[in-house]
Copies of this chain bind each other. A is one copy, B any other.
Amino acid sequence: MNSKKIDNISVDCVVFGYDINAKSLNVLLIKRYLESKTTQEVLVNDHVLTGYHVHKEETLDQTATRVLKELTGLTDQYKKQFKAFGNPDRLTSKKDLLWIENEGFNSRTITIAYYFLLKTEDVDLENNPYSATWFPVTALPELGFDHEKIILEAYKDLKVKCLSEPIIFKLLPDKFTINEVQDLYQSILGIEIDNRNFRRKLINKKYIIALDEKQVGVSKKPAQLYMFSKDVYDKVFEKNYLISI
């Protein structure tokens, strides 16, 4: 038993990864599998988020960072604490109780949920200690605990936030094309956007900087590359509201 951990408080992480080639917003999940020691019957076979108990001496943010590091090896990724889940009945399905009995933790666990935004290409799944897999957020597998609910809440928050904050760029490489940004918005929001209007609008933003570079290795006219400038963004927005009253 790990005496460092706080028994009844955990952090669960929804790791969103954007696959720029497949144009798909994915969630990183790990498999949960348990079979009966006597009958070999499969008791639990589904997927869950990664999470872990909060350690006694660490902050909640540190717990989230630690969980991501263990799962992906990555540090310094964008994260957001978006909601706490702590209803008494959140882990009371038959499967979850079997699992909890096997793992030996308290069933009334409050979890502080975070989501991360990163690029699928930054994660090496070949040597993953948890055999983690990407699933499109629109095609989730069967999920254990209340993790489907947690993912959907995270996704809802992301949909709202990506319209009012420049978090979209956390899902893209440093250098990107206008069409890549459009594809990403379309993936997240599930809508079609007019390319000509979107293009003009984005290029007019002062914090979207055209680089002296174009795509290489493409079999059509190579597109202009751009970057996002946080410095410019912060200066422009310090006195302005995003939405007019």
Query: Smallest CB–CB gap between A100 and chain B, Å?
Result: 16
* A241 CB → nearest B CB, Å: 6
Q: Which of A83, A243, A245 has the most C-beta atoms of chain B within 10 angstroms of its own C-beta? A: A245
- Assembled-state Cα–Cα distance A83/B232 (Å): 28
What B residues does A60 contact at CB under 8 A? 84, 86-87, 110
User: Could you tell me if A108 and B6 are in contact, using CB atoms closer than 8 angstroms?
Assistant: yes
Q: Which residues of B contact A6 (CB under 8 A)?
A: 8, 108
In the complex, the chain B residue whose C-beta lies closest to that of A57 is B88
Q: Which of B8, B185, B245 contacts A201 (CB 8 A)?
A: B245
Is the C-beta of A81 less than 8 angstroms from some C-beta in chain B? yes
Kindly state the interface size class of chain A when it binds its partner.
20 to 34
- Chain B residue nearest to A241 in the complex (CB): B163
- Specify which chain B residues have a CB less than 8 angstroms from the CB of A38 in the assembled complex: none
Which A residues are within 8 Å of any B CB, using their own CB?
6, 8-9, 54, 56-60, 81, 83-84, 86-88, 108, 110, 112, 160, 163-164, 185, 189, 193, 198, 201, 241-243, 245
30 contacts between A and B (CB under 8 A): A6-B8, A6-B108, A8-B9, A9-B9, A9-B86, A9-B110, A54-B86, A54-B110, A56-B88, A57-B88, A58-B88, A59-B86, A59-B87, A59-B88, A60-B84, A60-B86, A60-B87, A60-B110, A81-B84, A84-B84, A110-B110, A160-B164, A163-B241, A163-B242, A164-B164, A185-B245, A189-B245, A193-B245, A201-B245, A243-B243
